[in-house]
Structure 1
Amino acid sequence: MTPRHRRPVLVLTNPYDVTADVVLRVLAHRRSPVVRLDPGTDLHTGASLTASFRTDGRRGTLRTPSRELDLTEVGAVWVRRASPYEGPADLDGQERRFAASQSVWGAGGILASLPGAHYVNHPWANRAAEHKPAQLAAAQRSGFAVPDTLVTNDPQEARDFVALQRAGAVYKPVWNTPYSVDGEPRAVWVRDVRAQEITDAVRACPHLFQARVPKAYDARVTAVGDRLFGVRIDSPDLDWRHRQDLMTCTPIAVPEPVARSVADYLGHFRLVFGAFDFAVTPDGSWSFLECNPNGQWAWQPPETTDRIAHALADELQRGPDA
């Protein structure tokens, strides 16, 4: 049996994931065995995945053009930013959709069921924690301060809610769905909204409206297990992601009540990693905005990025879960 700290780490991500590269360099320096796989594409370009289930146990093998991995030996799986399962490019229409669906349930099911592997995070935990209404419900239970929020496809409900917010209200999408205009990709940013702007088009789908927090600054808390890394974000924009070249980030301590709520929140969704966003008011109150269970973090100050990378490497070298 391979020692716990020497068991292979399986990293599921696309080849352009520079955030994953930061951690992989740490693992390489530690001489930790790593296999990188983008199942949505690699399984159509020379890689193969096999699993067998028998009364006397299970077996599994991942073969790539350069190596072979016994899946029962995998110590940890880092679920990062793998490409979607879209089916082989040489198939069309129904056949490609069928292959894509079978890949989700077949390959995705194998990779989510490795015996004893430590997942950061488990893909099903990620999926459960990605829904914003579920995040807000969990944040309330965990003791976070949560801005008044409405999710609705009723235009009048939306107008009435927005009109009641004394400090103003914002709109944000419930999911970052790819969107383009004339073939050019566009991002839907958080934006201020007034009651008179809300039209009956709201009926098309649920929209999220939220009381605007009179913030002094934003804060990001990156959680890796029980280790928290906080930064203060100062930006001229309502949504600091809009023009990141204009924002400044400074390491900041995480208040103990917030840290306790973070731990409770992670436990609720069975997450190891989470990227929490807060709005901090002039009196020092932290309001929960969202938690991305697979958020980016390598844009933070170099010392913070380095500490997060080492914390993730430590987590991935823990070995199989009990």
Structure 2
Amino acid sequence: MNGRPVLVSTEAEDPTADLVIAELNRRRVPVLRFDPGRDFPTRATLAASVTADGWSGRLTVGKRVADLSRIRALYHRRPNPYTPQSEYQADRFAAQENRRGLNGVLGALPGCLYLSHPQAIARAEYKPAQLFVASRSGLPVPATLITNNPAEAKLFAAAHPTIYKPLHAGAYHVDGEPAGIWAAPVEPGEITGAVGNCAHLFQAQVPKSGDVRAVVVGEQVFCALITAPPGVIDWRSQYRNLAYEPVDCPEPVRAALLRFLGEFGLCFGAFDFAVTPGSEWWFLECNPNGQWAWLEHAAGLPITSAIADLLENGVTR
């Protein structure tokens, strides 16, 4: 590939990545898109050597070749995991070697901007760490209890209106159909011994008038006020009935968001806030690799251009 390419690591069907790739193509920035968990080692080959200046060599995907020493940026979107081809020990071993070998090289490229670094994304996905860093960064955080003790959960829920939410939005199915586990109110009488089966996150309910999704790209912050129907706790359960409008980010919140990303070594984050009638923004969570494409269209936020700028210029904040 001529020039310094941008690597886009994502699954085959990713409309969000498609927007960024189209913009980079428009700017004539070379792009190599691939899915490490699916393309390696069948469709992709790696030949990397370490030098005093970093890793050099080639990543070949199909008929396209990228010089590892000249990678401009890596956009780590949503690649598939490295999955063994079977349950045989040799295949499990190969999948781990692929992950540590290819991921290890791609995570140590000289002069490469990471949006964001895969290891930083993985570390920032833990909600307990997010809540601590958010509080230390100066963002208001609702009272929170993480427990597998039903008695402690009952005491917490009796002290104030309480929300239960999962610690991770993983795949979940009901009667064979994919389903979401949304944040929902919980009363003390609804808490049973089943809480003892795993860790649960309980949080004081914020008396909110709306929600804000804040998308941070480098030092730019794009915010949309999300208004859901009355009584809806988790707006993600009502995508078809939401209203959006762009809003300015208060400067103290913006500064705290940049401190938060700096703590985790990220240059991107999709933050969710509950906003009170008094315009106070309460931190709920951050998705370090969250979706934003629908919000760009709904609220008129130029996020694609901001991400393309960062990938093209190869400069972090």
User: How would you bin the TM-score normalised by the shorter chain?
Assistant: over 0.9
Return the alpha-carbon distance in structure 2 between the equivalents of residues 321 and 155 of structure 1.
45
Q: Give the equivalent residue in structure 1 for 2:64.
A: 67
1:200 and 2:197 aligned = no
How many aligned positions are there?
Answer: 314
1:151 aligns with 2:150: no
For the residue of structure 2 that corresponds to 1:242, the secondary structure is helix
Tell me which residue corresponds to 2:171: 178
What is the aligned-residue RMSD (CA, Å)?
1.8
Counterpart of 1:231? Answer: 224
Superposed CA offset, 1:226-262 (max 9, x none): 1110100001221111120111111011111111111
Contact kept? 1:76, 1:316, Cα under 8 Å? yes
Listed one character per residue, the Cα deviations across residues 159-191 of structure 1 (whole Å, up to 9, x for unaligned) are 1111101xx111001011212233222211111
2:89 paired residue number: 94
What is the CA-CA distance between 1:93 and the residue it aligns to?
Answer: 3.9
Letter in 2 for 1:21: D
Alpha-carbon contact 2:74-2:115 (below 8 Å) kept: yes
Q: 1:56: Cα distance to partner?
A: 7.9
**Residues 1:129 and 2:124 are matched in the alignment:** yes
Note the alpha carbon deviations across 1:274-319, whole angstroms, 9 max, x for none: 0010000001110000011100001114275661000000100123
Inter-partner Cα distance in structure 2 for 1:319 and 1:217:
36
- Structure 2 distance, partners of 1:265, 1:9, is 26
For 1:195 and 1:286, how far apart are their aligned partners in 2? 27
SS at match of 2:293: coil
TM-score, length of structure 1 as denominator length: 0.93
Which residues of structure 2 form unaligned runs of 5+?
A: none
Letter in 2 for 1:24: I
Q: Distance in 2 between matches of 1:93 and 1:283?
A: 59
Q: CA deviation at 1:201?
A: 1.4
Q: Which residue of 1 aligns with 2:102?
A: 107
What is the CA-CA distance between 1:99 and the residue it aligns to?
2.2
Cα deviations across residues 30-66 of structure 1 (Å, max 9, x unaligned)? 0001100100001143211222225686423111112
Structure 2 residue aligned with 1:253: 248
CA-CA distance at 1:195 after TM superposition? 1.0
- 3-state SS, counterpart of residue 223 of structure 2: strand
Aligned to 1:81: 78
Give the match for residue 262 of structure 1.
257
Q: 2:9–2:35: 8 Å Cα contact kept in structure 1? A: yes
Specify the alignment match of 2:18 in structure 1. Answer: 21
Q: 1:302 — aligned with what?
A: 297
Change (3 A) 1:200 1:284: same
2:114 to 101, 110, 119: 119
Q: Which runs of 5+ in 1 are unaligned?
A: none
Decide whether the 8 Å contact of 1:298 with 1:305 is kept in 2.
no
Amino acid paired to 2:49 = S
Between the aligned partners of 1:258 and 1:55, the Cα distance in structure 2 is: 41
1:65-121, Cα deviation, whole Å (9 max, x unpaired): 121111111010111011111133xx3343332222222212111111111201010
**In structure 1, what is the Cα distance between the partners aligned to 2:219 and 2:315?**
18
| Aligned CA distance change for structure 1 residues 97 and 79 (closer, same or farther; 3 Å) | same
Between the aligned partners of 1:156 and 1:270, the Cα distance in structure 2 is: 38
CA distance in 1 between partners of 2:239 and 2:298 (Å): 18
The two structures have a TM-score, normalised by structure 2, of 0.94
Is 2:117–2:266's contact at 8 Å kept on the other side of the alignment?
A: yes
* 2:308 aligned residue (296, 308, 313): 313
Q: State the SS of the aligned residue for 2:237.
A: coil
Match of 1:213 among 206, 213, 221: 206
How far apart, CA to CA, are the structure 1 residues paired with 2:73 and 2:166?
33
Q: Does the CA contact (< 8 Å) of 2:172 and 2:178 recur in 1?
A: yes
Question: Is this contact kept in 1: 2:310–2:316, CA < 8 A?
Answer: no
Q: Tell me the residue number matched to 2:162.
A: 169
Looking at structure 1, the residues matched to 151 and 209 of structure 2 have their Cα atoms a distance apart, in angstroms, of: 31
Contact 2:72 2:312 in 1 (8 A): yes
**What secondary structure does 2:62 align onto?**
coil
* Separation in structure 2 between the aligned mates of residue 11 and residue 101 of structure 1, nearest angstrom: 21
Equivalent residue letter for 1:128: R
- Report how far residue 203 of structure 1 moved: 1.5
Distance 2:203 2:9 in 1: 34
With over 3 angstroms needed to count, the CA separation of the structure-2 counterparts of 1:288 and 1:320, relative to structure 1, is closer
